[in-house]
Homo-oligomer: A and B are copies of this chain.
Amino acid sequence: MESSDATESSNNARLERVTTRESYTFQDQRGWRKWRILRPGRGMYHDVKRRLPYYRSDITDAFTYRAFASTVRLYFVNVLPAIAFTLDMYRRTGEFFGINEALFASALAAMVFSLVSCQPLTIVGVTGLIALFNYTIYDIIAIYDPTIYPAFTAWVGIWAAIFHWIVSFGNFCDYMAYVTDFSSETFGMYVGIIYCIKGVEELTYLFEVSDFSGGYLSIIIAVLYFGSVYGLEKLGGSTLFKPAIRGIIADYSFVFPTLFWVSFSHFPGRLENTGLYRVPIVGAFEPTQQRDWVIDFWNLDVKWVFVALPFGFLMMLLFYYDHNVSSLTAQARQYPLKKPAGFHWDFFLLGCTCFVCGIIGLPLPNGLVPQAPVHTDSLTVYETRLEVTETKDGGEIRKPVVEATAVVEQRVSHFLMGMAIWGTMTGPLLTVLHTMPAAVFAGVFFVVGWGSIESNGIIAKALYLINERRFLQPSNPLNTVSRKKVMLFIGIQILGVACTVAISQTIAAIGFPVLITALIPLRTFLMPKWFTEHELSVLDALTANSPYVLVSFGGTPAGMESDQEGEGRGVGDVEGGNEIKVECAESGTSQCGILEYVWKL
């Protein structure tokens, strides 16, 4: 990376020309050439060709403290929720998927994606949605014959892999270019709510596996764990202490509370004597059930093999949305990224992990939605700058302005995190894991879930609406849209959240990827009829709009150009609290996305 200011901008311009050269696009093609499926593998080829030159720098750029801090943070943010979901999945799939399966899947995915993916910033692991998917399949299969579950689930993985490869060779990831905040916010809200529900379910379950006192103590630990992580994160984002100390607090906001509350649960006396349910483990590197790692999927009735096909398709649809949105948010517009994206290639890799994990009976890993931007964020170099606004009466108002100046784009932190997960699978560390009360994981659900809800654009717009009007900043671009339209916009989003959350509580949960994916065409084809172009440009924006990202989709999608005008987006606030600002480079502030204006209340 150039350090000299003088040459930097010209270098950047050259870099952009090179990496975004549109050697790959389906726009303005005619005849058979416009059919993506007829030119298979074009996207993947260009993804790799574009990214390969950066491989060396992906390693050499990593020698910074940020990469180390990111590894630690990521390990906790990845492993803790994965275990949390597995606790849930374990008991709801007839104890088929256990801790070892979850760790194995996470470690495998981390190896594959840190070493050979085009987007090493996207963390791949075990999510709540795959847990939901797996136990819904179990519920359906259990109606007929629970013993075929392992082989059936292996076939779901195989079919899913096949559909992944069709999509990636068919260049269909291009359509992710149409993902705007409208659907990614809806999805983020849905995921956040599911996480919180899971947290409550986990606590309820703990009353069944331990006595009343164990259950109540678990609630205390979960609530206070949430409070401590949340408090440390807020402290890390304040103006107290020196920036270095704040940085440490923010980097290890999961580490300190986890250590503290696990120790707390072992305090001699009352606490130790309370029967807390702790993480269940089996021998190192062994499957949870008495079985070989490779499932005998060839022994499944052919009838069931074909029943698995639609499940595999739905799984692919889920990952198509979930994984690619993870990558999008990990490369979202607020991060000043310089290395190109590669959606097609990564989706192909995801097909491979689906295949392998399917046949050895692991939960299929995919991009982690609320955690994906955490990786990029922990690698971002933020500078808290002082903004002095002089007032007309001669006074001045001082505000901290946080600016993202650079991102340490590399694949080493991802790799090291994967190594740490391998380590966790060994005997001694599994024993350490067993000392952790399950209550801590309920707390993790609340932290991650609430993090996804609190910063959501739906909440931000809702707060805008219920705020007393005279206190709204006159510069807020939402003022240029009628309040009814804002209500309509978030109304549709809330309806989407409500439907998906509701369906997730039933056996129809298996179909929720259809609902989620349907939001993209809804936004692209129907919403322009209900909103003017200006309204959409204020209310919505492409989730990622950097040319380094869009190049992987073959350029900006038709009809979405107006959204792209505000390239960097002004990140401000309503109330005059802290402000995260990325310069509004090419447009006036009124073109900037609204999410950021009500970011921090």
Contact = CB atoms under 8 A, between A and B. Distances in A.
Contacts of A217: 212, 216
A277 B469 CA distance: 47
A518 interface: no
A459 to B, nearest CB: 12
Interface in A378-423: 384, 386, 389-393, 395-400
A207 interface: yes
Contacts of A399: 471, 576
Interface string A239-251: 1111100000000
A473 B398 contact: yes
* Residue from A207, A241, A470 having most chain B Cβ neighbours under 10 A: A470
A301 interface: no
A223 interface: yes
Interface string A440-469: 000000000000000000000001001110
Contacts of A12: none
Contact of A577 (B274, B398, B577): B577
A211 interface: yes
B386 A471 contact: yes
Nearest to A224: B223
A575 interface: yes
Contact of A470 (B207, B223, B386): B386
B212 A270 contact: yes
A472 B398 contact: yes
A474 interface: yes
A239 B577 contact: no
Copies held by the complex: 2
A362 interface: no
A469 to B, nearest CB: 9
A472 B211 CA distance: 52
Contact of A243 (B223, B274, B468): B468
Interface in A556-582: 575-578
A196 interface: no
A84 interface: no
- Greatest chain B CB density within 10 A among A241, A472, A575 is at A575
A426 interface: no
Contact of A575 (B213, B390, B577): B577
A598 to B, nearest CB: 12
A72 to B, nearest CB: 24
Given A239-B467, A577-B575, A475 B395 contact: yes
A597 B241 CA distance: 19
A220 interface: yes
Interface in A210-244: 211-213, 215-217, 219-220, 223-224, 239-243
Contact of A471 (B207, B219, B398): B398
A147 to B, nearest CB: 35
A468 to B, nearest CB: 5
A274 B216 contact: yes
A477 to B, nearest CB: 14
B390 A392 contact: yes
A241 B473 contact: no
Contacts of A470: 386, 398
Contacts of A393: 389-390
Contacts of A212: 212-213, 217, 270, 274
Given A217-B216, A220-B220, A474 B396 contact: yes
Contacts of A213: 211-213, 215-216
**Residue from the set A216, A220, A395 with the largest chain B CB neighbour count within 10 Å:** A216
A392 B395 contact: no
Interface string A469-485: 01111110000000000
A468 B239 contact: yes
A248 to B, nearest CB: 14
**Which of A239, A396, A473: most chain B CB closer than 10 A?**
A239
Interface in A346-405: 384, 386, 389-393, 395-400
Contacts of A397: 389, 391, 397, 473, 576
A29 B139 CA distance: 93
A270 B212 CA distance: 8
A395 B475 CA distance: 8
Contacts of A220: 216, 219-220, 223
A576 B391 CA distance: 14
A240 B468 contact: yes
A398 B468 contact: no
Contacts of A577: 575-577
A14 to B, nearest CB: 34
A218 to B, nearest CB: 9
Nearest to A242: B468
Contacts of A242: 468
A393 B215 CA distance: 58
Given A243-B468, A392-B392, A398-B472, 8 more contacts: A207-B270, A212-B217, A213-B215, A215-B270, A239-B467, A239-B471, A397-B473, A399-B576
Interface of A: 207, 211-213, 215-217, 219-220, 223-224, 239-243, 270, 274, 384, 386, 389-393, 395-400, 463, 466-468, 470-475, 575-578
18 contacts: A207-B270, A211-B213, A212-B270, A213-B215, A215-B270, A216-B216, A220-B220, A220-B223, A223-B223, A239-B467, A239-B468, A239-B575, A240-B466, A240-B468, A389-B392, A390-B393, A398-B471, A399-B576
* Closest A-B pairs by Cβ, 7 of them: A216-B216, A212-B213, A213-B213, A576-B576, A390-B392, A239-B471, A389-B391
